Amino acid sequence: MKLWDNGVMKTNSVITKMDEKSIEKLIALIPQEKINIIKKPETGLLMMAAKDSFDTDFYLGEILVTEAEVEYKRLKGYAMVMGNEPERALLAASVDAILQADNEDLKQKVIDFITIQARKIAESDEMEKRLIAKTKVNFETMVKG
């Protein structure tokens, strides 16, 4: 899952991967009284569709997800996150709405926080990718004779 796509940070992907503590910190940055909950966080099933090597689409199985919808300054924000995660879903929906609104100050605070998180996550991902790279194998074929 890419945290940046063509240089644009995908905030939902970052929030999905943030740890509990960072979630709490980000929640504290957001003026909760101005967030109007339209759809309370609810868990449900998302059917995952996959594409095989013959380009046939099929259902791989279901995923437990939590959905939420909020309103900030009359702008709607939506989020779906994996697992039973009501807080994370509400937060992601709030961020979705805030980033569309014109409160530049708040927007910047939120973006800065998420950017720092994204860099941290990318850094630890990078370490694991180096570990994986070290398992790259070169087999040599034995020559007859």
Partner 1 sequence: MGYVAVKGGTEAIENAAMFLNYERIKGNSEPLRVEQIKEQLYLLVDRVMGEGSLYAPELAALVIKQSAGDTFEAAFMLRAYRTTLPRVGYSIPQSTKEMRVIRRISAAFKDIPGGQILGTTPDYTLRLLDFELLNDTSEKRESFIRGLFNGIDAAPPIPDSFPKVIEVLRNEGLLIESVSSQNGLPACLPERVRSQSGNAQAGIFDITRQSLTFPAPRSAAMQTMARGETGGMLLLAYSNIRGYGDIHPFLGEMRVGYIPVKIKHPLTGEPYTVGEVKVTEAEIIARFTIKDGSPKFTLGYGLCFGHNETKAITMAILDRAMQSAEPKPVTEVPSITAFEGRLNRGMPSEDQEFVLYHLDGIESMGFCNHWKLPHYVTFQSDLDRLKKAQQESGVKNET
Interacting residue ranges for partner 1, rule: CB under 8 A: 1-2, 10, 12-13, 16, 42-54, 56-65, 67, 76, 78, 80-84, 126-139, 141
Residue closer to partner 1 (CB basis): 28 or 139: 139
Residue closer to partner 1 (CB basis): 16 or 117: 16
Alpha-carbon gap, residue 63 to 43, rounded angstroms: 10
Shortest Cβ 34–partner 1 spacing (Å): 19
Shortest Cβ 10–partner 1 spacing (Å): 6
Closest to 97 (Cα-Cα) out of 115, 113, 73: 73
Shortest Cβ 82–partner 1 spacing (Å): 4
Residue closer to partner 1 (CB basis): 79 or 110: 79
Residue closer to partner 1 (CB basis): 137 or 143: 137
Residue closer to partner 1 (CB basis): 28 or 137: 137
Shortest Cβ 8–partner 1 spacing (Å): 12
Shortest Cβ 33–partner 1 spacing (Å): 23
Long-range contacts, 19-28 (Cβ 8 Å, 24+)? 22/117, 23/87, 23/88, 23/91, 25/113, 26/91, 26/95, 26/110, 26/113, 26/114, 26/117, 27/87, 27/91
Closest to 29 (Cα-Cα) out of 103, 81, 122, 80: 103
Alpha-carbon gap, residue 71 to 125, rounded angstroms: 33
